[in-house]
Amino acid sequence: MISLLAAFQFLTISPPLVRRAFTDRELGRSVGWYPLVGLALGGALYGLAVLADPLFPQQVLAILLLAGWVIATRALHLDGFMDMCDGLFGGFTPERRLEIMRDSRVGAFGVAGGMLLLLTKFTLISATLPDHRVALLIAPVTGRWVISLAVVLFPYARPTGMGRTIKNHAGWPQALLSALVLATAALSFAGLPALLAAALSGGLVLLWLLAVRRMIPGLTGDLYGAACELAEVLVMVLLTLRIAP
């Protein structure tokens, strides 16, 4: 299960349990386990929401959950979302967009996008408390399932890098495993409505990625992170609708 440990070490602040560099094949195989990482994260958020609900007002609890969400993921996907905003909105050619996304500095589009994303997530977390807390469990699973699909389905834009390595060694077995983890988690903990919401959210993000392909020749690690963030937001919107059970 080295690939499972690779997924946790890559996507979270989990301490290194494997004290060596992962092989390219292990990194590729880890893609199938990404939603399981999301399930662990979502379970922690859900448990914290239940335990801390009697102690804090709703708004205070929401900001604590959001902070824990960002810290547990090392702001990895948030950083990708901000870089995506800078690159797609700040560049006018495919080459320039990729160059901007590679730059470690954050521009105006990235700051604005990051602030809006965090504000949106804070509002949605507040809306889940206490009646729709299951959204906290399903959202991280959905986001990482979308990453798995994006890795397998779309070409990679850069010739080198960790993203390229992962892309080269991930395939349909990983995509199917990730879908199985998502379906099992959604049906076990939240039922069919949650699975449908996750599937719809993932489909919308994949359509967005198709549109992005018109702007750049392939995806990057930043776009994987942005896709995760967008999927999390969309599934939380769907699961907090007033018509939701």
Query: 219 has which bridge partners?
Result: 156
User: Largest alpha-carbon pair distance within the chain?
Assistant: 52
Please tell me whether the overall predicted TM-score, pTM, comes out greater than 0.75 for this model. Answer: yes
Does any domain span residue 4?
no
Contact in structure between 209 and 219 (CB atoms under 8 Å) = yes
Residue 242, pLDDT score: 66
Tokens encoding 49? 């929401």
Domain containing 78 equals: 35-239
Please tell me the number of Cα atoms within 13 Å of 236 on its side-chain side: 25
- Cβ neighbours of residue 140 closer than 8 Å, sequence gap 6 or more: 37, 38, 39, 41, 42, 45, 69, 232
30, part of any domain: no
Residue 60 is assigned to a structural domain of this protein? yes
In this prediction, residue 2 carries a pLDDT of: 92
Q: 52 lies in a domain?
A: yes
The answer to whether residue 85 sits within a structural domain is yes
- pLDDT tens, the chain, 245 aa long: 899 999 999 999 988 888 888 999 999 999 999 999 999 999 999 999 999 999 999 999 999 999 999 999 999 999 999 999 999 999 999 999 999 999 989 999 999 999 999 999 999 999 999 888 999 999 999 999 999 999 999 999 998 889 999 999 999 999 999 999 999 999 999 999 999 999 999 999 999 999 999 999 999 999 999 999 999 999 999 999 864 44
As for how many domains the chain has, the answer is 1
The whole-number pLDDT of residue 245 equals: 46
Helix count and strand count (H, E) for the chain: 12, 0
Residue 159 inside a domain? The answer is yes
pLDDT of residue 163: 92
Instruction: Tally Cβ neighbours within 10 Å of residue 43.
Output: 16
The reply to whether 10 falls in a domain is: no
State percent of the chain over pLDDT 90: 91
Q: Phi and psi dihedrals of 219, rounded to 5?
A: -90, 165
Output the DSSP codes for 165-206. Answer: HHHHT--HHHHHHHHHHHHHHHHHHT-HHHHHHHHHHHHHHH
Q: Is residue 2 part of a domain?
A: no
